Amino acid sequence: MSKVETMTPLMGKPHESFENDEVFLLDPSIKAKRRETIVALVSRVLLGVGLLAAWEFVSGRFVDPFWISSPTRVATALVALWNSGSLLQNIYATVTEAIAGFGFGVAAGMTVGVLFGANRLVAKILDPYLVGFYSIPRVALIPLFILWFGIGFQTKVIYTAMLVFFPVFMNTLSGVRDVNQDLIDVIRVMGASRADTIRKVLIPSALAWLFAGLRISVPYALVGAVVAEMFTSNVGLGYLISYNANMLDTSALFATLAVTTALGLLLHKLVVQIEKRLLRWKPAEML
């Protein structure tokens, strides 16, 4: 018999328990999500291994390694970079510039986005200027930034902040304008000032949109720091990329790109985890 009568120590009354009772089985939706997560993870690993294997097979057989190197050569170059002691120094320089530029860009993008969303007249006045500035190729501004700010740390931070600014600004603006007007009217009837409305309603409502902008802008922060280093620095991953390209060292170039990609994934994962903590009210599939 699967039915077993036991005594509970707390209640002192018999209760019935069942082996393999359906009550204790996982919800089908939870099981499906777990299965989907496992399938996705295994598929990612297999896809990555397959691409690396294909790259290794093609290199030297169909394409000269000078042009595409190979995974084994890239791994050897990565170990050499690590052993030289310069890799950590260059990673630190790039990450510092990216984080500083990201912070300034996010602060500016949020501020201007809330300002435009809360005051439509200001938005109408300044919108053409922002659109015009956004249309300028950002790489073309680096020589001008060098002329204005020199080739130091500040140039790379300003350039990175400029790249981060627009995704954050546009998403914050969309989030503020998406706020239910009835909610704003209710809080104003209750005596809230404009500052209270912005702090209590507009900013919290725009958080979901803001984090969407942050996820987009994290790669921009890294790209901005790396691109600026290629033009203005003798340290950093951008400098390493430029140096290895000039030396025609394809393996070291791919190794540096691999490190840059890993950093981008790590920073993106960090933003996603922060979003999950701050936006716990959102359904998990929306994060």
What's the pLDDT tens digit per position in 170-211? 888 888 777 767 776 777 777 777 777 777 777 777 777 888
Mean pLDDT for 94-121 is: 88
Mean pLDDT for 32-49 is: 88
Q: Does residue 4 lie within any of the structural domains?
A: no
**How far apart are alpha carbons 90 and 252 in whole angstroms?**
14
In degrees and rounded to multiples of 5, residue 63 shows phi and psi of -130, 140
Q: Does residue 8 lie within any of the structural domains?
A: no
Domain count, the chain: 2
Residue 14 has pLDDT above 90, yes or no: no
Instruction: Specify whether 79 is located in the same domain as 212.
Output: yes
**Which of 21-25, 76-80, 201-205 comes out lowest in average pLDDT?**
21-25
Q: Which residue did the predictor score with more confidence, 148 or 26?
A: 148
Pick the closest to residue 219 from 156, 262, 176, 171 (CA basis).
262
**How far apart are alpha carbons 237 and 230 in whole angstroms?**
8
**Which of 5-9, 67-71, 139-143, 163-167 comes out lowest in average pLDDT?**
5-9
Q: Does residue 80 lie within any of the structural domains?
A: yes
Question: Given pLDDT bands bounded at 50, 70 and 90, which one contains residue 233?
Answer: confident
Residue 1 has pLDDT above 80, yes or no: no
Q: At what angle do helices 153-177 and 87-118 cross, to 10 degrees?
A: 40
Mean pLDDT for 63-81 is: 91
- Letter string b/e over residues 87-101, b meaning 16 or more CB atoms within 10 A of that residue's CB: beebbebbbebbbbb
**Structural element, H or E, at residue 16:** strand 14-18
Establish how many alpha carbons lie within 13 A of residue 222's alpha carbon, considering only the half-sphere containing its beta carbon.
21
Instruction: Specify whether 45 is located in the same domain as 149.
Output: no
Instruction: Specify whether 29 is located in the same domain as 76.
Output: no
Instruction: Specify whether 97 is located in the same domain as 146.
Output: yes
Q: Does residue 111 lie within any of the structural domains?
A: yes
Total-model pTM? 0.76
Q: Which residue did the predictor score with more confidence, 173 or 31?
A: 173
**Which of 124-133, 194-203, 220-229, 247-256 comes out lowest in average pLDDT?**
194-203
Question: Given pLDDT bands bounded at 50, 70 and 90, which one contains residue 86?
Answer: confident
Instruction: Specify whether 54 is located in the same domain as 181.
Output: no
Mean pLDDT for 208-216 is: 81
**Residue 269 has which token pair?**
């994962």
Alpha helix positions (H), the chain: 28-58, 65-68, 71-84, 87-118, 120-134, 142-149, 153-177, 181-189, 194-197, 203-232, 237-246, 250-278
Instruction: Specify whether 128 is located in the same domain as 194.
Output: yes
pLDDT in the model for residue 175: 80
Q: What is the chain's mean pLDDT, rounded?
A: 81
pLDDT in the model for residue 132: 85
Q: What is the DSSP letter of 200?
A: I
What's the pLDDT tens digit per position in 238-255? 999 999 999 999 999 999
> What percent of the chain stands above pLDDT 70?
85
What's the pLDDT tens digit per position in 265-287? 998 888 888 877 776 655 554 45
Full residue range of the structural domain in which residue 115 is found: 71-286
Instruction: Specify whether 51 is located in the same domain as 84.
Output: no
